[in-house]
Amino acid sequence: MSKTKSHVATTINGNNVEFLCEPRQTLLDVLRDELHLTGSKEGCSSGDCGACSVMLDGRLVCACLVLAVETSGHSVETIEGMADGEELHPLQRKFLEHSALQCGICTPGFLVAAKALLDRDPDPTETQVRYWLAGNLCRCTGYDKIVRAVLDAAAEMRAN
């Protein structure tokens, strides 16, 4: 294995961040193990569960499928950047109000993915929400509470 590390300068949740990483390390590895941003979860490491969802230059991606070196010069948003200081994002509040989580492993990924949907479509139908979130797996909730929380958050955000 190569011992050579790459220097990466990127933006994470609006902050300039620099780190060293091996060429084979994923963005998820670096977020969790080097930068201690452990909100993004590791479920499958193969792009199947959505637990590691983050935004890369405004596009929803699985952090386990992105090499950390690929983020050089780019912008990453993680679940840690969703709340505004102490104030939760409406999606985060609605997940709590609707009890849309149990073990919580899937929750950061759902929140990041749902925000990506509402950023591009503030008034999705239930079917659109279900299709959009099809890449995020939850083995606890049965999905209905998650979908209701997203629709409720969308309605609140449209009203404000």
In the shown chain, the binding pattern of residues 17 to 56 toward ligand FES, with x for contact by CB under 6 A and - for none, equals -------------------------xxxx-xxxxxx----
Asked whether position 105 contacts ligand FES by CB under 6 A, the answer is yes
Asked whether position 70 contacts ligand FES by CB under 6 A, the answer is no
Asked whether position 114 contacts ligand FES by CB under 6 A, the answer is no
In this chain, which of 101, 111, 113, 118 binds ligand FES, going by CB under 6 A? 101
State the minimum distance, in angstroms, from the CB of residue 43 to ligand FES.
4
Alpha carbon separation from 155 to 6, 26, 91, 123, 149 (Å, rounded): 44, 36, 11, 7, 10
What CA–CA distance (Å, rounded) separates 81 from 134?
23
Asked whether position 106 contacts ligand FES by CB under 6 A, the answer is yes
* Closest among 6, 103, 11, 7 to 54, alpha carbons compared: 11
Residue with tokens 């990924």: 109
Residue with tokens 């139908």: 125
Please state the separation of Cα 127 from the chain's center in Å: 21
What CA–CA distance (Å, rounded) separates 37 from 111?
16
State the minimum distance, in angstroms, from the CB of residue 86 to ligand FES.
24
Q: Which residues bind to ligand FES, rule: CB under 6 A?
A: 42-45, 47-52, 62, 64, 101-106, 138-141
